[in-house]
Amino acid sequence: MAAIWALRRSISLSQYLSTAKRSKKRLYIIYAALAVWPLAPLSAQRGNTGRDPHEVQTGSEVFNSICTICHGQEGNQVPGIDLAHGTFHFAKTDQDLIHIIRNGIPGTEMPANNMSEASAAAVVSYLHQMAADNADNTITNGNPDHGKALYQSLGCAKCHRMGEVGSRLGPDLTNIGNLRRSAVLERKLLDPAKDILPENRFVTVVTQSGRTITGRLMNQDTFTVLLMDPSETLLSFDRADLKQVTIEDKSTIMPSYQGKLSNQDVSDLVTYLKQQKGVPVQ
Amino acid sequence: MTKLLKVLLVWFAAGVSVQLGAQVTSDDLLNAAKEPQNWLTYSGTYMSQRYSTLSQITPENVKNLSLAWVWQNRSLELFEATPLVVNGVMYTVQPPNTVVALDAKTGRVYWTYEYDPSPNSRACCGWVNRGLAILGNTLFMGTLDQRFLAIDAKTGHLLWSTQPEDVPSFERGYSYTVAPLVVKDKVIVSSAGG
C-alpha cells in the first residue's frame, strides 16, 4: 500500500480531484495539501536564472561530456578555479567565456575546444545555472544519519540500489556522491521528472498481442528495444513485434518530495547521498 | 496521470514482488548438464567436456548453418573468451577486460562494463581473456593487471574489485587471463605467466 500511495502522491491535484471518489479521508488530505500550498511556489523558484531551460540542459550535457574531465562535476576540480559561482579569472562577459571555451587560454592547460558558438553559449548558460543553484543551495551541514533513516523510511531502496542492496530499476546510487552535485540531488528530490537523463529513462512497449510492459530502458537501436522489467529480468524486443514504443522522458515513478519533506530533511537526505562514493576498491 | 504511472501502479497493485533471488545458484552449476539451453560455466559443466547436449544442430544439418547476427568487437586483440549464457542473456569478454551482456537471440547489447588494465601489464601471449564465472547475479573476472572484479550481471555495475595478496605483481609479467571457476560459495582463479 505504501508504494501505491507513494505513486499516487505524484498525481496532479486536478487529476486527483477528477478521478477520486471524494471520501472524507481524501478531502482531509486535499485540505492538508491546500494548507501548505503557499509554500510550494517559493521553492519552485529555486535556481531560476531566466535562461532557456533547453539551452541549460544542452549546456549540462556538453559540460558533463567535455569539461568535467578536468573541471569535475562541481566545476571546482582544478585547484584555484571554481566555475560554479559566477565569477571567473579571465572572463568578464558571456562573450569572453564563449571565446575561452572555443579557443582555450594560451599558456595554461585550458585547451581550445572544437565546438560551435551555440554549444559554447549553452555551456555558459549552464555555468550560470550552476552558480544560481549554488547560491540557492540550502544543503549545508545536513545530518547524514537522519538522511539514512529517511532513505530507509521513504522506501528509496524499492527502486534504487546502493552497493548490493535495493532494486536495480532506478538509478544506482552507490557512487552518486561522485556523480551529482548536491544542488542537483536537491532538485531531483523536489522535481524528479525534470531533465531525466537518457540512461535513466523508462520505456513502455506494447506488443502486437496487446501486452504492455514498462521497464528501465537498457538500450535501443533501429531494430530492437532492450529493457529491464520490474522483476529485473532483461528483455529484448524486435521493434517489428511491437505496436508502440514510448520513451518516458517527461515522467517518472519517482515521487516529488516538494512540500512533503522539510528543508532540513532534504538537507539530511542529500548529505547522506553525497557520502555515497562508489564501491570499495582494495 | 501518465501512462507510465498507470502501468506501474497496476504492477504494484497486483502485488508483483521484486524478484531479488539469485539467478544462478551453486546447485544450478552442479547440475548444469540439466540446462543445456544455458552455458553456466567456462567448460559447460564441472565435467569440463565442453559438449552441448542440445540436439537442434546435427552432423546432417550442420552444413545449413547461416549467420544469425554479428556483434562487432571493438578491440584488435585476440578473442579467446567462451561466453556464458544465462536465460537468454550472453555474457562475454571483449579483450582485454571489457564485459558485455548481449541478447543471445539478436546480438544486441544490454550493457557494457569497461575495465582498462594497467598499460604496464605484460601478458606473455597477447592481451587476452578466457571468460567469466557467474554465481547469483554476480559475474567474476580476473584482469590482466591481477585485479579480481565482481560485476552485477543485470546492470554491468562494478560491485567490488580486489587485488589478492601474495600474488606476484603484474609488472613482473603475471596476469589473470583464466576464466574463474565457482565452487559452492568460493571463486577460484590463478595467475599465469611470470
Nearest CB among A219, A223, A279 relative to B159 is that of: A279
% of chain B beyond a pLDDT of 90: 74
Arithmetic mean of pLDDT, B114-134? 91
CB contact under 8 A, B108 and A233: no
Question: Is the Cβ–Cβ distance between A67 and A81 less than 8 Å?
Answer: no
Instruction: Give the DSSP letter of residue B179.
Output: P
Say yes or no to pLDDT of B164 above 50. yes
pLDDT at A183: 84
Q: Where are the domains of chain A?
A: 1-39, 53-136, 202-248
Report A:240-269 residues touching B (Cβ under 8 A).
246, 248, 250-253
Question: pLDDT at position A38, please?
Answer: 38
SS3 B139: strand
For residues B9 and A201, the model is more confident at: A201
- Domain positions in chain B: 78-194
Count how many pairs of residues, chain A against chain B, have C-beta atoms within 8 Å. 105
Q: Does B163 touch chain A (CB under 8 A)?
A: yes
Is pLDDT larger for residue B99 or for residue A48?
Answer: B99
| A53-136: CATH topology | Cytochrome Bc1 Complex; Chain D, domain 2 (1.10.760)
CB pair distance less than 8 Å for A236 and B106: yes
> In chain B, which residues have their Cβ closer than 8 Å to the Cβ of A233?
19, 87
CATH class label, A202-248: mainly beta
B66 has a pLDDT exceeding 90: yes
Calpha distance A11→A24 (Å, rounded): 19
**CB atoms A233 and B19 under 8 Å:** yes
A219 contacts on B by Cβ (under 8 Å): 108-111
Question: Does B101 touch chain A if contact means CB atoms closer than 8 Å?
Answer: yes
C-alpha span between B87 and B24 (Å, rounded) = 10
pLDDT of residue A139: 66
CA-based nearest residue in chain B for residue A201? B4
Residue A90 CA to residue A100 CA, distance in Å, equals 8
Residue in B closest to A250 by C-alpha = B2
3-class secondary structure per residue, chain A: CHHHHHHHCCCCHHHHHHHCCCCHHHHHHHHHHHHCCCHHHHHHCCCCCCCCHHHHHHHHHHHHHHHHHHHCCCCCCCCCCCCCCCCCCCCCCHHHHHHHHHHCCCCCCCCCCCCCHHHHHHHHHHHHHHHHHHHHCCCCCCCHHHHHHHHHHCCHHHCCEECCEECCCCCCCCCHHHHCCHHHHHHHHHCCCCCCCHHHCEEEEEECCCCEEEEEEEEECCCEEEEECCCCCEEEEEHHHEEEEEEECCCCCCCCCCCCCCHHHHHHHHHHHHCCCCCCEC
- Stretch B152-162: mean pLDDT: 94
pLDDT at B22 over 70: no
Q: Confirm or reject contact between A165 and chain B (CB < 8 A).
A: no
Count of CA atoms in the C-beta half-sphere (13 A) of A202: 23
Q: Consecutive 10-residue runs of chain A (282 residues): their mean pLDDT? A: 40 39 46 41 48 84 90 86 86 92 92 93 92 71 93 96 92 88 88 86 96 96 95 95 94 92 93 88 72
Between vectors from CA A193 to CA B114 and to CA A255, what angle results, nearest 5°? 105
Q: In chain B, which residue's Cα lies nearest the Cα of A226?
A: B110
Confidence of residue B168 (pLDDT cuts 50, 70, 90): confident
Tracing cell 535556481 back to the chain, one arrives at: A47
Q: How many CB atoms lie within 10 A of CB B65?
A: 8
Q: Is B78-194 assigned to CATH 2.40.128.630?
A: yes
CB-nearest partner of A4 from B13, B110, B111: B13
The C-alpha cell 572484479 sits at B149
The mean of the pLDDT values for chain B is: 88
Write down the pTM of the prediction.
0.73
